[in-house]
């Protein structure tokens, strides 16, 4: 269970990216976040695994507050949170297998990590993850030789080998062929069956309606909609997407 | 010497006019340059009794006794005024430019032909004492403007002002002339001679009269003798040539001896001629064309001291000097250059008209003037002299003649052996540098160090070390290491490793800083420790670049290791030096060819590998 209490984030230039956000997400829920770009969706997501530091508030993951954790504690919490990026963020010169395996580095000490002494169990886990995302053919292919959709699936496999409780995906379909959006979303949704909570930032409203169990709407850093897809009426959509882009 | 500047000016004008460039820019460059020269460049030499009395004042410095020099200032300003006028007129501006250039050239010509008067010198105080702190302040200001953000600018300005003030405190203090003896009374000007100084000059002259007359007799005698010496040497040379011709058929050692003797005779002829040349110069300096020297009469300000004679010791100490207008300093050349720029620029403007008003001309013209003024100083500082090169060219010819035909048999195997040492030196030195640079470059990369407090401390230290190390060249380090580990390749390898480490480290750390942020962030998000992120997120990205930079450094180090041979690190450089010293140019040419070949082969291989790695 994830519990966010009064989360705020103010950037050094004074912009309020998050304004007093509170919510609770039970295990295994598939949540989509919508809103204009700059509304605070990405910041919210990046605060959840502390790629951004919040200014105030609490983020309780399994009753542990991550909001102001640091050092080893933070690393321990982070390894149970998978993160899928819009730009995949793979190391282009490594193979798919090595990229996926690097997702396990949080479970190894410094020396083992530097020397790459991965256990055979973890190697099996990586291969299994690649199979699950449908890339058993491409295990030893260099990331730079993969297509956009394949790269994103490798990135998902990398998040998966972390054995996460929570999987965050920031616009995972924005940089790939629109036809493949469904494949990625299906894959992400399938993880909820294993009890993994999945939160997806998405700007395609149709995909959010189609896949989400619950939709969060952000506007100017405030959480202004929290409900099921059926509750998301056209009026609510207008409210979420209110304000011109120039204001932001 | 002056010829260089005149050629430079004409080339510059020709290039600008031929390319339809802006004539106004030439004029501005000429005017700004003339103003700089007027206050900064030395015009001609003054001599006293000792070399420390030598002095070369600026045109401004001369203007106190030669007020016509103020014309330089006036015409330069006039040119700038007409060029910068609100509604510039091509005809007026052109005429002004021509008049200005003409004035400057006439002034120079008249000064060059003026008499060698005797003058006094006096100094304008506190010139360097003021300029040096201002220079420091200006550097601080410029650096602040370039490096700092708007909010931090004020700190930069405050620090610059403090530095300026601090340096000022030093330059005005009594300790300054002890550590920096040229500081006080730096800017000296020519003034009218006082009656007291005049008396000293006459007294010194009378005291030296006897000695000078003897000296003249000696030189005259040598001059006469030198004519005979040349004739004798020429005769000996002809004789030696005959001997060589006769021993041609005998061959062997006899021929070799004869050839050596002939070479020796040739050298004697050359020496005899250069001695006569030297004496001729002395004859001119000592005014030997006139009769014996007479005591000077006390005629106010018109000294009848013959040309070439300088003043005596007491007068020199009392700040009297003799002006030698023909001993031009570089300011003479640069002023002529700027005069020609104004003259030809004005002429072009007058006949061609103003094509279009370009405000950019003014800034670029001023910049051009400043650059030429600095270059003028530089040409002088390196004693640039085309005449000397032309005069010395026969020696280069001789060098080439003695290098052919190349002697393959004597040197090739030894040369190849030395070449392997040279290559190995470069290889091991580079590897050593890479081993040192690899770990340290991560500490010098801003993106990896800025997150922890110890990183923020280590980063500037590592960067500072690199910058320090980069400043100490391999050659200097090699000499230090030679004293530690003795002559031989080891000293060279160590020096190369330590110096190249800084260059490689800097390149490596810049590659790390330019690494893609995404993969690093992804590993951070998965909770990986920092060292693992570097190994799996950063290293795979930068490794090809590292290899490429290392290869590039190897190319450079190969050339460096040849030079290292000259300071005793062995290899082909050492061999080149040895063959050169013993005059075996026909062997040296083989070694040089070998080096040229190897440089190109290595560059070709390395460039191809690098293209594949990064391309």
Mean pLDDT (chain A) is 90
Q: Which of B458, B457, B453, B464 is nearest to B439 (CA)?
A: B458
Task: Write down the pLDDT at residue A65.
Answer: 87
Which candidate in A51, A71, A105, A167 is best for mutational testing of the B interface (most B CBs within 10 A)?
A105
Question: Looking at chain B, which residue has its C-alpha nearest residue A73?
Answer: B527
Residue B356 has pLDDT above 60, yes or no: no
Instruction: Quote the CA–CA distance of B551 and B554 in Å, as a whole number.
Output: 5
Instruction: List the single best residue of A53, A86, A102 to mutate versus B (max B Cβ within 10 A).
Output: A102
Interface of B with A (CB under 8 A): 516, 518-519, 521-537, 540-541, 543-544
Question: Which tens digits make up the pLDDT trace of A164-182?
Answer: 999 999 999 888 888 888 8
**Percent share of chain B, pLDDT over 90:** 47
A positions 177-236 inside 8 Å of B (CB): none
Q: Which pLDDT score is estimated for B567? A: 82
- How many CB pairs lie under 8 A apart between chains A and B? 91
B531 to A81: CB separation less than 8 angstroms, yes or no: no
Residue B513 predicted with pLDDT over 50: yes
Residue B293: phi, psi to the nearest 5?
Answer: -80, 140
A123, B42, B120, B133, B398 from B183: Cα distances, Å: 74, 17, 20, 12, 47
Name the residue facing A89 among B522, B530, B531 (closest C-beta).
B522
**pLDDT tens, residue by residue, B97-155:** 999 999 999 999 999 988 888 899 999 988 999 999 999 999 999 999 988 888 888 89
Taking an 8 Å cut-off on Cβ atoms, the answer to whether B541 and A93 are in contact is yes
Would you give the end-to-end CA distance of chain B in angstroms?
Answer: 49
Say how far apart CA B443 and CA B437 lie, in whole Å.
Answer: 10
Chain A neighbors of B521, CB-CB under 8 A: 51, 85, 89
| Per-residue pLDDT at A13 exceeds 90 | no
Nearest-CA distance B451 → chain A (Å) = 11
Strands of the sheet with A2-10, listed across from one edge: A16-25, A2-10, A56-61, A64-65
Query: In whole angstroms, how large is the CA radius of gyration of chain A?
Result: 18
Chain A residues with CB inside 8 Å of B525's CB? 49, 51, 78, 81, 83
B527/A75 Cβ within 8 A: yes
Q: Quick check: A77 contacting B, CB < 8 Å?
A: yes
Contact B521 A105 (CB under 8 A): no
pLDDT above 80 for B293: no
* More confident call, A248 vs B218: B218
pLDDT tier at B40, thresholds 50, 70, 90: very high
Contacts of B526 in chain A (CB under 8 A): 78-79, 82-83, 102-103, 105-106, 158-159, 162
Least confident of B266-275, B280-289, B458-467: B280-289
Is the pLDDT confidence value at A157 over 50? yes
* Dist. CA B322–CA B319, nearest whole Å: 10
Answer for the pair B268, B233: CB distance below 8 angstroms, yes or no: yes
Beginning with the edge strand found earlier in the chain, give each strand of the sheet holding A222-227 in spatial order: A81-84, A166-170, A197-201, A30-35, A214-219, A222-227
Judging contacts by C-beta atoms under 8 Å, the chain B residues touching residue A151 are: none
Rounded to a whole number of angstroms, the distance from the CA of B84 to the nearest CA of chain A is 45
Question: A64 — contact with chain B (CB < 8 Å)?
Answer: no
Any B CB within 8 A of A95 CB: no
Whole-number pLDDT of residue A248: 46
Span A199-224, average pLDDT: 91
What pLDDT does residue B291 have? 63
Closest residue in A to B517 (Cα–Cα): A89
Cα A167 from Cα A156, distance rounded (Å):
9
Q: Cα separation of B612 and B481, whole Å?
A: 37
Inter-chain CB proximity B527 and A162 less than 8 Å: yes
pLDDT of residue A145: 92
Cβ atoms of B403 and B589 closer than 8 Å: yes
pLDDT at B20 over 80: no
CA distance A80 to chain B (A): 8
pLDDT at B615: 59
Prediction ipTM score: 0.92
Indicate yes or no: pTM above 0.90.
Answer: no
C-alpha R_g of chain B: 33
Q: Which member of A49, A98, A110 has the closest CB to residue B525?
A: A49
Residue B75's pLDDT band (cuts 50, 70, 90): very high
In tens, the pLDDT along B392-426 reads: 888 888 888 888 888 888 788 899 999 999 999 99
Alpha-carbon gap: B124 to the closest alpha carbon of chain A (Å): 55
Closest CA to B569 of B431, B421, B415: B421
Query: Is A155 in the B-facing interface, judged by CB distances under 8 Å?
Result: yes
A59 bridge partner residues: A4
A interface test, pick of B438, B527, B539, B543 with most A CB neighbours within 10 Å: B527
What confidence score (pLDDT) does residue B60 get?
A: 95
B57 pLDDT exceeds 90? Answer: yes
Q: Which residues of B70-99 are buried (b: 16+ CB within 10 A; e: fewer)?
A: ebbbebbebbbebbeeeeeebeebbbbbbb
- Tell me whether residues B536 and A91 touch, CB distance under 8 A: yes
Q: Does A81 contact B at CB distance below 8 Å?
A: yes
Q: Determine whether the interchain pair A106/B527 forms a contact, defined as Cβ–Cβ distance below 8 Å.
A: yes
Predicted local confidence at residue B300, as pLDDT: 54
Chain A positions in Cβ-Cβ contact with residue B534 (cut-off 8 Å): 114
Q: Tell me the shortest Cα–Cα distance from B525 to chain A, in angstroms.
A: 6
Q: Return the H-helix or E-strand segment holding A82.
A: strand A81-84
Task: Return the residue in B519, B534, B538, B548 with the most chain A beta carbons within 10 A, the one to mutate for interface testing.
Answer: B519
CA–CA separation, A40 vs A74, rounded Å? 22
Q: pLDDT category, A64, cuts 50, 70, 90?
A: confident
pLDDT of residue A244: 57
d(CA A112, CA A125): 18
Helices (H), B56-126: 59-62, 70-84, 90-112
Q: What is the mean pLDDT of residues A41-65?
A: 89
Q: Please, are residues A157 and A191 in contact by the beta-carbon 8 Å criterion?
A: no
Q: What is the 8-class DSSP label of residue B151?
A: T
The rounded Cα B158 to chain-centroid distance in angstroms is 35
List the one residue out of B268, B523, B448, B375 whose CA is nearest residue A102.
Answer: B523
Question: What is the mean predicted confidence (pLDDT) over B603-607?
Answer: 90
SS3 of B268-323: HHHHHHHHHHHHHHHHHHCCCCCCCCCCCCCCCCCCCCCCCCCCCHHHHHCCEEEE
pLDDT at A36 over 90: no
Tokens 């470069």: give the residue.
B426
Mean pLDDT value of segment A19-25: 91
Omega into A11 within 30° of 0, i.e. cis?
A: no
């Amino acid at each position: 269970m994830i519990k966010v209490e009064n989360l705020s984030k103010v950037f050094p230039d004074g912009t309020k990216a998050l304004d007093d956000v509170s919510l609770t997400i039970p295990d295994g829920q598939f949540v989509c976040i919508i809103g204009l770009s700059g509304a605070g969706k990405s910041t919210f997501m990046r605060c959840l695994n502390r790629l951004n530091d919040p200014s105030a508030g609490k983020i309780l993951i399994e009753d542990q507050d991550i909001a102001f954790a640091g050092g080893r504690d933070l690393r321990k919490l982070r390894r149970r949170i998978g993160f899928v990026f819009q730009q995949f963020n793979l190391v282009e010169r490594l193979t798919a297998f090595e990229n996926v395996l690097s997702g396990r580095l949080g479970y190894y000490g410094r020396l083992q990590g530097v020397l790459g002494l991965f256990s055979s169990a973890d190697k099996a886990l990586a291969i299994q993850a690649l199979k699950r995302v449908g890339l058993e053919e491409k295990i030893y292919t260099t990331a730079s030789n993969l297509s956009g959709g394949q790269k994103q699936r490798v990135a998902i496999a990398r998040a998966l080998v972390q054995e996460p409780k929570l999987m965050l995906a920031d616009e995972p379909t924005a940089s790939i062929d629109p036809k493949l959006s469904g494949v990625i979303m299906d894959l992400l949704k399938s993880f909820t069956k294993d009890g993994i909570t999945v939160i997806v930032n998405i700007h395609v409203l149709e995909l959010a309606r189609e896949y989400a169990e619950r939709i969060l709407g952000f506007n100017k850093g405030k959480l202004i909609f929290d409900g099921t897809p059926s509750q998301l009426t056209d009026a609510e959509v207008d409210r979420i997407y209110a304000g011109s882009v120039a204001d932001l | 010497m002056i010829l260089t500047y005149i050629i430079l000016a004409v080339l510059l004008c020709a290039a600008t006019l031929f390319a339809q460039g802006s004539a106004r820019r030439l004029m501005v460059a000429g005017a700004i340059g003339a103003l700089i020269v007027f206050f900064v460049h030395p015009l001609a030499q003054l001599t006293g009794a000792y070399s420390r009395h030598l002095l070369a004042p600026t045109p401004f410095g001369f203007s106190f006794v030669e007020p016509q020099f103020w014309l330089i200032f006036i015409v330069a300003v006039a040119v700038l005024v007409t060029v910068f006028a609100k509604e510039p007129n091509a005809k007026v501006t052109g005429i002004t430019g021509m008049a200005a250039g003409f004035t400057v050239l006439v002034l120079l010509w008249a000064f060059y032909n003026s008499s060698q008067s005797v003058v006094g010198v006096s100094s304008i105080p506190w010139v360097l004492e003021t300029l040096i702190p201002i220079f420091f302040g200006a550097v601080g200001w410029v650096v602040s403007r370039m490096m700092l953000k708007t909010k931090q600018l004020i700190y930069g300005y405050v620090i610059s002002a403090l530095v300026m003030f601090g340096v000022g405190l030093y330059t005005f203090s009594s300790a300054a002339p002890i550590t920096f003896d040229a500081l006080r009374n730096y800017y000296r000007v020519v003034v009218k001679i006082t009656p007291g100084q005049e008396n000293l000059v006459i007294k010194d002259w009378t005291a030296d009269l006897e000695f000078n007359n003897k000296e003249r007799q000696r030189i005259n005698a040598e001059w006469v003798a030198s004519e005979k010496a040349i004739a004798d040497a020429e005769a000996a040379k002809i004789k030696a040539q005959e001997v060589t011709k006769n021993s041609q058929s005998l061959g062997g050692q006899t021929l070799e001896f004869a050839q050596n003797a002939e070479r020796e005779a040739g050298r004697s002829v050359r020496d005899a001629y250069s001695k006569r040349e030297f004496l001729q110069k002395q004859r001119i300096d000592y005014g030997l064309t006139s009769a014996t020297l007479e005591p000077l009469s006390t005629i106010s300000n018109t000294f009848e001291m013959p040309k070439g004679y300088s003043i005596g010791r007491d007068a020199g100490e009392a700040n009297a000097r003799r002006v030698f207008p023909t001993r031009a300093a570089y300011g003479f050349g640069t002023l002529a250059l700027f005069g020609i720029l104004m003259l030809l620029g004005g002429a072009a403007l007058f006949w061609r008209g103003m094509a279009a008003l370009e405000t950019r001309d003014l800034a670029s013209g001023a910049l051009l003037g400043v650059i030429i003024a600095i270059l003028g100083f530089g040409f002088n500082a390196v004693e640039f002299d085309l005449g000397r090169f032309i005069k010395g060219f026969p020696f280069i010819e001789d060098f080439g003649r003695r290098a052919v035909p190349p002697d393959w048999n004597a040197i090739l195997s030894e040369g190849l052996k030395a070449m392997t040492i040279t290559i190995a030196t470069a290889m091991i030195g580079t590897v050593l540098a890479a081993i040192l640079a690899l770990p340290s470059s991560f500490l010098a990369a801003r993106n990896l160090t800025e997150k922890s407090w110890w990183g923020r401390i280590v980063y500037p230290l590592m960067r500072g070390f690199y910058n320090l190390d980069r400043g100490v060249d391999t050659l200097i380090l090699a000499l230090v290491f030679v004293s530690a580990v003795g002559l031989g390749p080891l000293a060279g390898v160590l020096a190369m490793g330590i110096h190249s480490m800084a260059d490689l480290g800097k390149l490596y750390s810049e590659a790390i800083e330019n690494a893609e942020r995404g993969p690093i962030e992804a590993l951070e998000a998965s909770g990986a420790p920092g060292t693992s992120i570097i190994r799996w997120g950063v290293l795979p990205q930068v490794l090809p670049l590292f290899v490429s930079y290392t290869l590039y450094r190897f190319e450079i180090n190969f050339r460096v290791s040849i030079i290292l041979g000259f300071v005793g690190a062995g290899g082909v450089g050492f061999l080149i030096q040895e063959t050169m010293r013993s005059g075996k140019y026909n062997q040296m040419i083989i070694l040089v060819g070998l080096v040229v070949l190897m440089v190109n082969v290595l560059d070709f291989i390395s460039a191809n590998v690098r293209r594949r790695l990064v391309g």
